[in-house]
Structure 1
Amino acid sequence: MYLGLDLGTSGLKAVLIDDNQTLCAEATAPLSVTRPQSGWSEQNPADWLAAAEAVMSELAGQHDLKGLRAIGLSGQMHGATLLDAAGDVLRPCMLWNDTRSHRQAASLDDDPKWRDISGNIVFPGFTAPKVAWVRENEPEVWQKMRKVLLPKDYLRLWLIGEAVSEMSDAAGTSWLDTGRRDWSDALLEASALTREHMPRLVEGSQVSGVLRDTLAARWGLPKGVIVAGGAGDNAAAAVGMGVVKPGQAFISLGTSGVLFAASPAYQPDAPSAVHTFCHALPNTWHQMGVILACTDALNWFANLVGSDAKSLTQNLGALAAPSETLFLPYLGGERTPHNDAAARGAFLGLGHATDQTAGTRAVLEGVSFAFKDCYDALRGTGTQINSLVAVGGGSLSDYWLNILATLLDMPIDVPKAGDFGGAFGAARLAQMAANDAGPELAVAPDTDHTIFPNPVLSEAFRAGHAQYRAAYRALKETL
C-alpha cells in the first residue's frame, strides 16, 4: 500500500491506495489561515503536524496499515518556514498568497540574473522575497535562521528527521536553477544565504528518506517505510491526473486557479508571467498560468450575499452570453499575466437589474476571463495544449466549465467520480519510489463526460474578454 499526504491551505488530506491504485481509505483534517494585516497570510507549522497525527489516526481506524510501503508528499508551494539551529520554528509560515514582500520581490526582479537562472519572475508570493522581507523587518528572526523549508518539507523533516525537498516545489522559491535542477549558488548569495540554509534535493519519484521508527510504531506501520520526494501541489495533481506528457494539460478550479501544461524541455518565458517549473518526474518540466482567486472569488461573493457556492451555481440554466455586469477577480493581487500584487477586484456595470444570479454569473465569467489570460500567455510561449482535464471544486459546475470551454475553444474532459488531485498524485509518487518505476504509473482517469465549446456564443465571450482586459488597464491607471 502507498500513502499520499497533501498539505493544502485549508486542510491536510490523506489517501491510501493499493498496488492497483485502488482507493483503500482517505481522511482529512482542517487547517485555518490567519491574516494579521492586509496582504498577510500565515499558518502555524505545529498545526500541520497535529493534522498529520489526526489523519493517520483516522486512517488506522479504517484500514490495517501494516502493509504500507511508502509515503508521498504534496503541498502548497512557496511558503517560508524558518527554523533555528535546533530545528525549531522561528515564526508563523508565510503562505503562497502572502504578498507583503512585493517591494522586495520587485527589487530582486530588477536584477536580470534572477529571471535568467530561475526562469521566472520573482513574484511576491515566492519564497525568496519573503525571506528578504524577514531580513529587513524581523532582524532578530533573521539572525537565528539556519534553515528555510517549504511547508510539505517541514512535514517531511518531522517524518524522517532530515531536511529534504524536491525539484517541483523548489522551483517556486526563486533560488533554483530550474534548467539544471539544482540550487543556484549565485541566487542564494544574492539573498545572503548558502546551500547550508537549503534542504537536500531529490526528484519527486525518488526516495528522500525513511519514516522515523517512533512514528511508525505510534501509527501501527512497519519499520522501513520510505518517504518519496513528492511534489508541489500542482505537479502532484498533474501526476494524479496523468498530465505528464507534452500536449497534456489540466485546469484546476480550486482556491486559486491553475492552467498546467506538461513540457519535455525547459523553455522559460519569464516576461509572460508564466511559471516555468520542474515537473515531479526526472527530466521533465511544466508551465503554469496562475490566478490567485478562483473558487476563492466565488466563496467571497457567496459570503457577501449570505449564501454558499453550491446554491449560487446549481440553477443557472443554459449557458448565456456574458452579462452587462463585469467582475475583476483580483481580490489579493494577480500573477499571470499581470504580476500585480496591488491589483484589487471590482464590479463594473452594476444596474437595477443586477441581482444575485447576475452577480454569480459575473464572478464565474470574470474568473474564466482570467483563465483565458493564462491560456493566451501559455500559448504565447509556444506551449501546445492538445487535451484539457478539469479538476478542483469548481469543476463540479458544468455551467462554469461551459464558459471555459467556449472561451478557450477547447473541449474539457471531466473525470469520473474520484479524487485524482495532489494526495492521489503523491501516493503515485510513493509507488514509483518504492518500485523504481516511472511515468507509466501516471495514467489518466476515465472520463465521465466532456464539455464542448458553444460556437454560437464564442464571439460574445471573446468580446467580453476584450472588455475585461480593457477594464484592468483602465483601473490600473485610475486606482
Structure 2
Amino acid sequence: MNIAAGIDLGTQSLKVVLYDYEKKQIAAQASCPLELISKEDGTREQKTDRYDAALKTAFEKLPVDLRSRIQAVGVSGQQHGFVPLDKDGNALYNVKLWNDTSTAEECRILTEAAGGKAEIIKEAANLMLPGFTAPKILWLKNHFPEAWKKLRYILLPHDYINFVLTGNYVMEAGDASGTALFNPSSRTWSQKLCSLIDDGLYDLLPPLIASDKKAGTVSEKASRMLGIPEGIPVSSGGGDNMMGAIGTGTVSDGFLTMSMGTSGTLYGYSDTPIADPEQGLSGFCSSTGGWLPLLCTMNCTVATEQIRALFGLSVADFDTLAEAAPAGAQGVRVLPFFNGERTPNLPKGRASITGLTMTNSNRENICRAAMESAVFALKGGLDAFKKLGFKPKEIRLIGGGAKSPLWRQIAADIMNVPVSVPASEEAAALGAAVQALWCLEGGGAEAIKRLCREHIQLNKEKSAVPGEAAGEYEKAYTDYTEILGKLTPLYTHS
C-alpha cells in the first residue's frame, strides 16, 4: 500500500486524507476544527498556532502504519488569506481571511492609486476586492507599522502549511493569482501592483514554482511532529478551489465545478486566460498549468444555516420544509449577504427577506428561498462564462450543498445544466493528494488529465438533470436580479 496525503486547510476545519493510489481509495481521513475571530466591522481572522495544533491533531488521529507509508504530500488551503511572518517564522499578526471585509477602505486607496478599476483589471484580471490579499497587506502596514517593519514572509494559508512542512518559502501561480498582486497572463508578480503598497514589497514576495514541481521535502522537524517520513516530496499545492478542480476532474475545457460551502464558487478549466471581473468572474490561474476563471460569493450555506437557526430546525426538517414549497418559493426572495458580499461587490451588504405577502409568508417558502438564493448568486457566473464563449457540458457539485438531493435538483434547474457529484466528499483534500501523486510521478500537462481520469470517480446515484422547474426559475432569477439592483444603493453609501 502506497499513500499520497492530501491536507485541506479550510475556514472551519483542517482535514487530512490518506489516499491509497494503488487501490484508488481513501484509506483514512481525519479532521480538527478551527476557531474563527469575528467582529462587527467585518473582521474575520484566525491564528497560525491553531493551524499548527490542528495539523498535529489531525495526523495523530490517523493510523501510525498508514502514516509511515506516505510517499508524497499535497496541500490545499482557503484562498486569499494573509499570513505575515517575521524572519524567524513567527506570526506578526492574525491571519486575515478571504471573508474579511474590513479592508474596503484599503481597496479604495489602491484602486485610486492605480488609476482606476481598468488599470487594476489590466494587471491582475481582477478588481481590487476586500477578499483578496493585497488590501490586507496594506491594512497591516497602516494599522501595525511596527509589525510591518519586521515582515519577512508573506504567505497564503496553504503556503504556510508548506512552510511548516518543508521550511521553504515558495508559491505557485494558482493561489498567487488570487492575491491581486499577480499578473495571471504572464504568470508573474506585478511590480506595478506591489509598488502601490510599498516600494519594497516586490522583493518580499516568494519565488514562484511550476504547479507540477515540489515545494520541498518534509523536514526532520515536521517528520517528528506528524509521524510521517522525512524527505518525501511536498507538491506545490494550491488554493482550495484549484485543488477542488483537480479533485473533481475539472482539468479540461467544458467542465465546471460548483462548490456550495460557507462560500459559493463556480469555476472551470480553460487553456487560455478568461476573465470578466466586472461581472465577478476572476481571472485566476489553475494549479495544473492552465487557467481557472472563477466566481466566488461569500454567502452560500451561510444563508441556509442562518435561516435554519432562526427557525430552530434540524437540517432534515429544514430540507423537508423547503421541499414542500414550489420552485420560486411563491415570490419570496432572500438576499443572503450575512457576511457582506464579494460578488456583487458589496462589503457593507446586509441580508434580507423580500416579497412576503399575506399568502406566501410561511417557513416553507423562506427555507426554499434561502436555498435558491445561493444558486441565483452563482448563476451570474455561469452567464459570464457563456458570454466569453465557454460551453458548459456538466457541473461537478461539491460542498455541503451536494449532500442535499433537493439542492442538487435546484442547482440543475436554475443553472439548466446537468449536475454530477464526485464520489469523494473531500474534493480539495483529494485533489491535493492527486497533485502530490502528479509531482511524485514527474509532472507534465497530459499526466494530470490522465491521473484525474484514473482517480476521480463520480457518484452516479447523485446526478441531477434540468426538469420542468427550469422555466420557472428563469422568471424567478430575473425577479431576484431586479430586487438586487433596487437594494444595492442601500449598501454602497460611504
Structure 2-normalised TM-score? 0.92
Change in Cα spacing, 1:99 to 1:269, as seen in structure 2 (3 Å) is same
- Cα–Cα, structure 1 residues 236 and 473, in superposed 2: closer, same or farther, change >3 Å? same
Task: Work out whether 1:31 is the aligned partner of 2:34.
Answer: yes
- Given the alignment of the two structures, is residue 362 of structure 1 paired with residue 366 of structure 2, yes or no? no
Following superposition of structure 1 onto structure 2, how do residues 289-304 of structure 1 map, counting pairs within 5 Å?
A: 289-304=295-310
Structure 2 residue ranges without an equivalent (≥5): none
Alignment of 1:3-402 (within 5 A): 3-20=5-22, 21-61=24-64, 63-110=65-112, 111=114, 112-192=118-198, 193-282=200-289, 284-314=290-320, 316-317=322-323, 320-323=326-329, 324-336=331-343, 338-352=344-358, 353-402=360-409
Q: Deviations over 1:330-354 (max 9, x none)?
A: 1222233x22212221101224552
Matched, 1:465 2:477: yes
Distance in 2 of aligned mates of 1:397 and 1:219: 35
Amino acid at match of 1:298: T
Rounded Cα–Cα distance in structure 1 between residues aligned with 2:388 and 2:143: 37
Shift of 1:7: 0.2
SS at match of 2:98: coil
Answer whether contact 1:241 1:420 (CA < 8 A) is retained. no
* Distance in 1 between residues matched to 2:312 and 2:414, nearest whole Å: 29
Amino acid aligned to 2:140: V
Q: Which range moves more in the overlay, 214-223 or 324-333?
A: 214-223
Q: Residue type matched to 2:203 in 1?
A: E
Q: Which residue of 1 aligns with 2:431?
A: 425
| Matched residue count | 474
Q: Structure 1 counterpart of 2:254, which letter?
A: G
Alignment partners' CA distance in 2, 1:399 and 1:19: 33
Q: Give 1:266 shift.
A: 1.2
Structure 1 contact 319–403 (Cα < 8 Å) conserved: no
User: Against the structure 1 CA distance between its residues 30 and 177, is the aligned structure 2 distance closer, same or farther, given a 3 Å change threshold?
Assistant: same
CA distance, structure 1, for counterparts of residue 436 and residue 124 of structure 2: 27
Deviates most, 253-262 or 366-375: 366-375
Shift of 1:77: 0.5
Aligned amino acid, residue 469 of structure 1: T
Provide the alpha-carbon RMSD of the alignment. Answer: 1.8
Identity of aligned residues (%): 30
Q: Which stretch shows the higher mean deviation, 199-208 or 67-76?
A: 199-208
Contact persistence 2:73–2:433 (CA under 8 A): yes
Q: CA deviation at 1:420?
A: 4.4
Equivalent residues of 2:5, 2:70 under 8 A apart: yes
- Name the SS of the counterpart of 1:431 in structure 2: helix
Q: Is the 8 A contact 1:109 1:115 kept in 2?
A: no
- 1:368-395 alpha-carbon deviations (Å, 9 max, x no partner): 2112122112222322211111111111
CA distance in 2, matches of 1:478, 1:210: 51
Change (3 A) 1:270 1:351: closer
448, 455, 467: which is aligned to 1:454? 467
In structure 2, the CA distance between the partners of 1:415 and 1:149, relative to structure 1 (3 Å rule), is: closer
Per the alignment, in what secondary structure is the counterpart of residue 293 of structure 2?
Answer: strand
Secondary structure of 2:63's counterpart equals helix
Report the 3-state secondary structure (helix = DSSP H, G, I; strand = E; otherwise coil) of the residue aligned with 1:64. helix
1:85, 1:146 within 8 Å by CA — same for their partners in 2?
yes
For residue 34 of structure 1, what is the amino acid of its counterpart?
A: I
How much has 1:18 moved relative to structure 2? 2.0
Contact 2:325–2:368 under 8 Å retained in 1: no
Which amino acid in 1 is paired with 2:388? T
**Equivalent pair of 1:76/1:151 in contact (CA under 8 Å):** yes
Distance 1:34 1:414 in 2: 32
**How far apart, in 2, do the equivalents of 1:36 and 1:339 lie?**
20
Question: Which SS does the other structure have where 2:61 is aligned?
Answer: helix
Distance 1:407 1:363, change over 3 A: same
Shift of 1:316: 4.1
Q: Check 1:331–1:65 CA distance in 2 against 1; reply closer, same or farther (3 A cut).
A: same
- Once residues 437 and 415 of structure 2 are traced to their aligned partners in structure 1, the CA distance between those partners, rounded to angstroms, is 35
Q: Distance in 1 between matches of 2:239 and 2:316?
A: 28
Is the 2:256–2:396 Cα contact (8 Å) retained in structure 1? yes
